Chain A
Amino acid sequence: MLRKFVYITAFAFLLQIGSAIAGSTGSESLKKGSSQSSAPECFEGVSRAVFSINHALDKVIFEPVAKGYRAIPHPIRKGTGNAVDNLRSLLTFSNNILQGNFSGAANTAGRFVINTTVGILGIFDPADNFFGLEDQGKEDFGQTIGYWGASSGCYFVLPILGPTTIRDSIGLVGNVFLDPVYQITHNTEVNAGIGNQSYSEHNYYYYRGTGAVDFRAKNIESFDTLEETSIDLYASVKSLYLQNRNKKIMNSQSSIETQDDSDWEEIDTN
């Protein structure tokens, strides 16, 4: 009960900050490229320090774990990744609805039902392979409030969780309320042997942790290359993070729609 109160208070507080930062942009349509893909720093010195700690933790813990995970046979890793994505789609469904994307919600729901049943708890993806329901990408509450028109606010780095903005940190709190997996695992109590232990809280963290390891394992080489070819890794990661969030909020796969040509125009005039 106390935990819920803290969450709700924090959520309400953050929404207030978010509204102030978002200003009057709520009804404006999203702009392409540069203005949306950049964000001022909240406190760069602190963020760079946290980034360094996260990077060190990645080297010592997360990357070795991801490399170990890579040693598991590919079909098992693929099935694990599919099962995690299948559970994650419940959060996507909530956000499809909040964005008024009902065809997307129907696609997400259809994929979840088919993959959970025919696909054996999401291990396989018959929804795509046999029913033509392609994965349309993940949605979260940060994307939803971005879709509603809130600007990103300033950028900072969270310990362990990594890059974020004011808007996306609000989104993180919102995800707790909107994610059925979180709600089921945190609100199913075991009293006097009544209830189901398999829904207990730690299962939520196993699920999230597995998703993180799977993601890291799929990107070992990309991270290494980025590290080797960056003269300011912090700035590179910030740019890629903001570009990625902007692209996801625009819900577009087209580079023509998501990229801003005006920056390129400038070089031809000088």
Chain B
Amino acid sequence: MKKNFFIIIFFVFFIFPNNSSAYSNDPKQFITEIVNEAKKILVKTNSKEFKTKKLSKIAMKTVDIIGVAKYTLGHHRKKLNDDQTQEYFALFEKYFLKVFAERLTDYSEPKIEVLSAEVANPKYTIVKSLLLATDKKPEVKIDWRVYTKNPDKPLIRDLIIEGLSLARAEREQFDSIIKSNNGDVTKLFVSLKEFINK
């Protein structure tokens, strides 16, 4: 009896959590698994809070948030000291998760087909997918920029919707805010805080 108890504990705490959080290292399969997981969350019966919480967890595991944060700030990050850099990363993570959840929670039971993967270079693979049309919305092509520098742990770095990079749009927003404040990066922090607390 005691032996069985330890076996159960072992499975519950060590085996199952690892299985549930491990994604494939093949970029196409990696995206397919994320899409399937998101589909289960984005059902009509789930509350927005539940969807936000669950989607944020997926994003934390599958998106290179620090990489995207660096890209989004571009050359301005050279102006930051170490403390400011850490503050920026923390703010960006909250900002990113809020944007990510808000963009996705409006979709109820989306029908997404993962179509193919194309290796751009050793560091990046582009995975192509299609959000199928509904009565209200047209079909949308979604490409996922997957960072494959560590082939055992692919990470998402960008979503390219109908050929338009969301990371690039974010980068240009941040650049515009900084430039309109005479290059003061801390003004971007203020805008990020306002958005997070909105």
For window 198-238 of A, CB contacts with B under 8 Å fall at: 218, 220-221, 225, 228-232, 234-236, 238
Q: How many residues of B contact A (CB 8 A)?
A: 44
Looking at the complex, which one of A37, A218, A232 makes contact with B137 (CB distance below 8 Å)? Answer: A218
Asked if A259 and B106 make an inter-chain contact with CB atoms under 8 angstroms apart, the answer reads no
Asked if A228 and B163 make an inter-chain contact with CB atoms under 8 angstroms apart, the answer reads no
User: In the bound complex, how far is the Cα of B110 from the Cα of A221, in angstroms?
Assistant: 14
Q: A261-B120, A261-B121 are in contact. Are A243 and B177 (CB under 8 A)?
A: no
Looking at the complex, which one of B99, B143, B157, B192 makes contact with A264 (CB distance below 8 Å)? Answer: B157
Closest chain B residue to A217 by CB distance?
Answer: B136
Q: A239-B169, A263-B71 are in contact. Are A229 and B164 (CB under 8 A)?
A: no
Asked if A255 and B176 make an inter-chain contact with CB atoms under 8 angstroms apart, the answer reads no
Asked if A235 and B173 make an inter-chain contact with CB atoms under 8 angstroms apart, the answer reads yes
For window 41-85 of B, CB contacts with A under 8 Å fall at: 67, 70-71, 74, 77-78
Asked if B118 and A256 make an inter-chain contact with CB atoms under 8 angstroms apart, the answer reads yes
Nearest chain A CB to B124 CB, angstrom units: 7
**B152 interface contact, C-beta 8 A:** no
**A38 interface contact, C-beta 8 A:** yes
Looking at the complex, which one of B78, B99, B124, B160 makes contact with A261 (CB distance below 8 Å)? Answer: B124
Annotate A250-270 by CB proximity to B: 1 below 8 A, 0 otherwise.
Answer: 000111101101011011101
Asked if A225 and B103 make an inter-chain contact with CB atoms under 8 angstroms apart, the answer reads yes
**Neighbouring B residues of A235 by C-beta, 8 Å:** 172-173, 175-177
**B191 interface contact, C-beta 8 A:** yes
For window 117-176 of B, CB contacts with A under 8 Å fall at: 118, 120-121, 123-124, 126, 128, 135-138, 141, 143, 145, 149, 157, 160, 162-165, 168-169, 171-173, 175-176
Asked if B137 and A221 make an inter-chain contact with CB atoms under 8 angstroms apart, the answer reads yes
For window 6-41 of A, CB contacts with B under 8 Å fall at: 34, 37-38
**A247 interface contact, C-beta 8 A:** yes
Q: A221-B137, A261-B120, A264-B124 are in contact. Are A231 and B106 (CB under 8 A)?
A: no
Asked if B163 and A255 make an inter-chain contact with CB atoms under 8 angstroms apart, the answer reads yes
Asked if B70 and A231 make an inter-chain contact with CB atoms under 8 angstroms apart, the answer reads no
**Neighbouring B residues of A234 by C-beta, 8 Å:** 176
**Neighbouring A residues of B102 by C-beta, 8 Å:** 225, 228-229
User: In the bound complex, how far is the Cα of B169 from the Cα of A34, in angstroms?
Assistant: 11
**Neighbouring A residues of B103 by C-beta, 8 Å:** 225, 229
Asked if B71 and A255 make an inter-chain contact with CB atoms under 8 angstroms apart, the answer reads no
Asked if B136 and A70 make an inter-chain contact with CB atoms under 8 angstroms apart, the answer reads yes
Closest chain A residue to B176 by CB distance?
Answer: A235
**Neighbouring A residues of B11 by C-beta, 8 Å:** none
Nearest chain A CB to B198 CB, angstrom units: 9
Closest chain A residue to B100 by CB distance?
Answer: A229
User: In the bound complex, how far is the Cα of B191 from the Cα of A220, in angstroms?
Assistant: 26
Asked if B177 and A256 make an inter-chain contact with CB atoms under 8 angstroms apart, the answer reads no
Nearest chain A CB to B104 CB, angstrom units: 9
User: In the bound complex, how far is the Cα of B169 from the Cα of A159, in angstroms?
Assistant: 23
**A244 interface contact, C-beta 8 A:** yes
Closest chain A residue to B118 by CB distance?
Answer: A256
User: In the bound complex, how far is the Cα of B74 from the Cα of A38, in angstroms?
Assistant: 14
B residues engaging A (CB < 8 A)? 67, 70-71, 74, 77-78, 98-99, 102-103, 106, 118, 120-121, 123-124, 126, 128, 135-138, 141, 143, 145, 149, 157, 160, 162-165, 168-169, 171-173, 175-177, 191-192, 194-195
A residues engaging B (CB < 8 A)? 34, 37-38, 70, 74, 218, 220-221, 225, 228-232, 234-236, 238-240, 243-244, 247, 253-256, 258-259, 261, 263-264, 266-268, 270
In the complex, the 10 A-B pairs of residues with the closest C-beta atoms, listed nearest first: A235-B176, A239-B172, A247-B163, A239-B169, A267-B70, A255-B143, A74-B135, A235-B173, A229-B99, A232-B173
